[in-house]
Each structure stands twice: as C-alpha cells, then as structure tokens.
Chain A
C-alpha cells in the first residue's frame, strides 16, 4: 500500500491565483482530513470528510473548499490565494467508527505552499 499520497510536494502561487491540492489514499479509509501547519506551530484542521459525498468544516475553513466524490480522493481547493495561506498542508485518513483503530490518523507527506 502507498498509504496517503499528496501532490504536488511544493508549489509557489501568486496572490489571487487558485489551485487544487490532491490527496489520495489506498487503505479504503472512510474518514479523511486536511490540516495546515504554519511554521513552528501545531496542525489546524481545515476540513474533514466521513465518507464520499460528506464533508464538514474544521477549525480554519475560510478560503478553502473540498469535495469527496470517491472514497480514495479528497482534494482541497484554494480560491484567490492569499499570503496568509502560506503553510504546509497535510492530508490524513483513518478507518471508520466501527474499527478498533478508528481514531488513528495516517498522514501524507505534505504539500509546501508559498503565496507571494
């Protein structure tokens, strides 16, 4: 299993541009999450999904959108990029609530985004 994969690894955006961060998992996990990690800080939850077609806001959703059309993919969309969105973005997944390992989240390698 590749686990959780993310593309791209790095990206530089100009203010006002848009982009989509891709996240794919091959573990058949129902739950998926997007976090951002600012320099020297912890991770903040942006959005999460408990299954295909179901998404919900986390702590810091403003400026982002998500969709979940399949179990495997959970893309994060940035519209009108701003310097405040400069961060490292991590995608994660976990098994559903029926599993004994439901709480364990597995992280992707991250996408380092710079907005200038």
Chain B
C-alpha cells in the first residue's frame, strides 16, 4: 500500500525566511497531493494541493512542487510570519480511492 514519508519533523526559521517541507510517496498511482495546516487543538485545514498533471502550483506565499519521476513533493513558504507556526501535513491519494495517506507532520516554528 501507499506510504508517505515527511521531513523534517521540526523546523525553526527566522521571520521573513523561507521554509521547505518535503514528502516522498511510494505508490506511483497516487495522483493528488494536498497539504494541511493544523494549529494547536484545531482541525486540519487545507492550504494548497496539487494534482499529478501539474508540476508546480502557487498561492501567494505558498507553493507546492511535484516530481513524479522521483515521487516526491514539497511545500515552500516564503516570507514566513509568526502566524505560519503550526504543524503541516502532506498526504497522497490514489485515483478512484479518495483516501488519504498522511505523512507524520512537520512542526514549523517561525521565530520573531
């Protein structure tokens, strides 16, 4: 079955710097890759996603890149702000199943 690995588990950056979180997946049939942000005690919230027919997607300070050949995808946050501090989860979903396999999460701390 699908397996998703996520790195790093924790990441500290200075305010204004960029942050990059990486995920790899095992199932070459996976075709949808969402990223969720979870603040302490809150529900996961979708922040950006990418489908397998696209190599990169941007939304303001957030971008996601996908390398299907290497089976990895990354979240990029530029000009980080203290409110970006949270746990970020990647996930992979296989066509027709609509089930997510989640990574183990990255705790991002943005230092003011």
Q: Interface of A with B (CB < 8 Å)?
A: 31, 33, 40-45, 48, 50, 58-59, 90, 94, 97, 102-110
Contact = CB atoms under 8 A, between A and B. Distances in A.
Contacts of B45: 107
B34 A41 contact: no
B103 A42 contact: yes
A110 B100 contact: no
B104 interface: yes
A52 to B, nearest CB: 16
A93 to B, nearest CB: 11
B49 A104 contact: yes
Contacts, number: 52
Q: DSSP majority for the A interface? A: loop
Top 5 closest A-B pairs, CB basis? A42-B102, A107-B43, A103-B32, A42-B104, A43-B102
Contacts of B51: 103
A105 B93 CA distance: 11
Contact of A103 (B1, B43, B89, B93): B93
Among B6, B51, B98, B99, residue most surrounded by chain A Cβ atoms (within 10 Å): B98
Given A42-B104, A103-B93, A104-B49, A90 B98 contact: no
